[in-house]
Structure 1
Amino acid sequence: MSSLLTNSTAMTALQTLRSVSSQLSTTQNRISTGQRVATASDNAAYWSIATSMRADNAALSAVSDSLGLSAATVDTEYTALTTVIGDKDSGLTKLQSLLVQAKTAGIDRTKIQADVTQIQQQMKSTANAATFNGINWLSTTTGTTPTSFSLVSSYSRVGGTPTIGSITVTTANYTLYSSTQTGILDTVSGSASVDTINISALTDSAADQTTLDGYIAQVTTAINSVAASAANLGAVKNRISTNTEFVKSLMDSVDRGVGQLVDADMNAESTRLAALQVQQQLGVQALSIANNSSQSILSLFR
C-alpha cells in the first residue's frame, strides 16, 4: 500500500544507512588511531587490561633507567678498584714489588720510598675520584655515606600488588679509605697502614728486615682484599647487565601483549572500509529511490 504519511521503504533504507554510517565511523576511527580498542567504550575489559599493562611498562622503563644509573656507578667503582690493584707498573702490585726490592742489602731505600709515596698518593687520588652522581664507595666519610645502597633491579605486579626488586650493596665491602681509618688501605696494622708505609729510615738490620716482611705481608693482604672487592663488584656488574637485558625484553613483550589486545588489523580494516563505503553509496541510492516512489502518487491527481 502506498501512503503519503508512512514511507516504510524509506524508513528501512534510512535505518540501514544509519547502521552503515555507524560502522563506517568505527572503522575510520580504527584506521586513524591504529587501535580497535582506543577507549573504554570500545571494550571495557581489554581497555582496562591494556591500561594496567601500559602502566607496568612505564614502571619497567623507570627500572631500566635506574639500572643504567646503577651500572654507571658500579662501573666507576669497579674501574677504580682494578686501577688500585694495578699491575707491574702501578698500584698495589707495584708497591709490593718495591717492598720486595727494598729487602736487598745495601739498597737506597730513600729512593724506593719516593716511588712508594707516589703510589700511595695515586691510589688515594684514584679512590677519591671514583665518584659518580655524588656517590663514592671507595673513599667514605662517616655520617654522610650510607652503610648500604639498594640498586633498583626489577618490577613486577601480581594482581594489584607491585613488587620492586633491588640489589643491596654494602659500602664497607669496598671502602679503601674512611675518616675512621677502617678502610682496606688505611687500617693500621702494626705500626702503619698501607697508606702510611715509610721505609726511608729502615736499614739492613734484622729488626728492620722483619718490619719490611710485615709491610710486604700487609700489602699482599690488601691486594687480596681489594681483589675480592673487585670480584664482588664484578658479579654485581654482571647481574645489573643481565637484569637490564631482561627488563628490555620484558618491555618488548608487554608491548606485544598490549598490541594483541587493542591494535587494529589494518588489512581487515581497510577491506571493511571499502565494503562499507560501497554499502553507504547503495544505502543513499536506496533512500533516494524510496523517496522518489512517493512522487509517483502525484501522477494520480493530474
Structure 2
Amino acid sequence: MASSLLTNSAAMTALQTLRSVSTNMQTTENRISTGQRVATASDNSAYWSIATSMRADNAALSAVSDSLGLSAATVDTEYTALTSVLGSDGNSGLTKLQSLLVEAKTAGIDRKKIQTEITQIQQDMKNTANSATFNGVNWLSTNATTPTTVNLVSSFSRVGGVPTINTISVTVASYSLYTSTQTGFLDTVGGGGSSIDNLNIGALTDSAADQTTLDGLIAQVTGAINTVSQAAADLGAIKNRIGNNTDFVKSLMDSVTRGIGQLVDADMNAESTRLQALQVQQQLGVQALSIANQNSQSILSLFK
C-alpha cells in the first residue's frame, strides 16, 4: 500500500470509528441521565407520539380521580345527614317522631308536652338538613338556585381521537327534605293539612276526630320514613359505585403508566453494560488513531 502525506486512510478510518463510538456513547449517556430511551420525537416518533397521548390520558384520569374524591365527599355528607334525619337508633329523627305520635294516641296523655319534644325533633331535623353542605352543595335543603340534576364525573376513555366522559346522574329532588317551594319530603303538606315540618298535636284531644287526625299523621310520618330510607339506600348505592370507580381509575392509571414505561423507558442494566463497552471502544479508537498518525512520522525518518 502506498504511503501518502496528503491522505492517511488509516487515520481517516480510525477517526470515523471514533466518531461513531462517541455518538453512540452520547446517546447512551442521555438515556442513563433521563432514564428514557425515547425522550424526544427524534428518538422514535411513533413511540413518542403514543406516549404523549397516553400521558394526556393519564392526566385526564387523574382529574377524574380528583372529581370522584369530591363526589364521594359530597355524597357521604348527604348520606350521613339523611341517616341522621331518619334516626335509625329510635331516639331521634323520624323514628322518634313516629313513636311520639303513637304515644300521643294514649287516652288522657298530655299532648302539649309531647308536642314540646316533637318541636325539638322538627328543629333538629331541619338544622341537620341545612348543615348537609359540602363545597356549597346541599341536596337535602334546596332553593331556586339548586340544580335539578347533578352529573358526577365517573370515568374517562379515548378511542382513537374521540374522548368519552361518563357520569353518574343524580336527581336532587329524590333526596330533598326541604325546598323553598315546600315540595320536599318533610315540608310537603299532607292530607291532614300539615307537613311533618310544622305538624302540631298540642291542641288535640281524645275525640274520635282527633284520633283520626293522629292516625293520618302517623301514616304521614311512616311514609316519610319509607321515602327517606329509600333515598338513603340510593345514596349508599351511589357511594359504592363511586368507590368502585375510584379503585378502577387508580388501577387504570397504573396500567397506563406501565404501558408508557414499556414504550419509552430505558433498560438501565442494558444501558450501563453498553456504556462500559463503548468506553472500551473509545479507548481503542483513540489508540488506533494514534497508531495511524504515527505512520506519517515514520515517513519523515526516511528523509533524515
Q: Same fold (TM over 0.5)?
A: yes
Give the corresponding residue for 1:102.
104
The letter of the residue matching 2:4 is: S
Where do 4+ consecutive residues of structure 1 move more than 6 Å? none
Partner amino acid, structure 1, of 2:147? P
1:292 deviates by: 1.2
Matched, 1:31 2:28: no
1:264 corresponds, among 266, 272, 276, to 266
User: Does residue 204 of structure 2 align to residue 195 of structure 1?
Assistant: no
Aligned to 2:226: 224
The sequence identity of aligned pairs, in percent, is 80
Gaps of 5+ in 1: none
Normalization by structure 1: what TM-score? 0.99
Specify the code of the residue in structure 2 equivalent to 1:228: Q
Q: For 2:260 and 2:26, how far apart are their aligned partners in 1?
A: 23
SS at match of 2:117: helix
**Cα separation, 2, equivalents of 1:88 and 1:68:** 32
Return the offset for 1:20.
0.2
What corresponds to 1:213 in structure 2?
A: 215
Match of 2:287 among 251, 262, 285: 285
The Cα shift of 1:293 comes to 1.4
Q: TM-score, normalised by structure 2?
A: 0.98
Amino acid in structure 2 at the alignment position of 1:117: T
Aligned twin of 2:67: 66
State the AA in 1 paired with 2:294.
Answer: N
2:235 alignment counterpart: 233
What's 2:146 paired with? 145
Q: How does 1:166-181 map to 2 (within 5 A)?
A: 166-181=167-182
Residue 44 of structure 2 is aligned to residue 50 of structure 1: no
Aligned to 1:299: 301
SS at 1:301 equivalent: coil
Give the RMSD, CA atoms, in angstroms: 0.5
1:154 aligns with 2:125: no
Distance 1:286 1:77 in 2: 79
Counterpart-to-counterpart distance in 2, 1:299 and 1:238: 91
Mapped to 1, the partners of 2:31 and 2:90 lie a distance apart of: 68
Q: What are structure 2's unaligned runs of at least 5 residues?
A: none
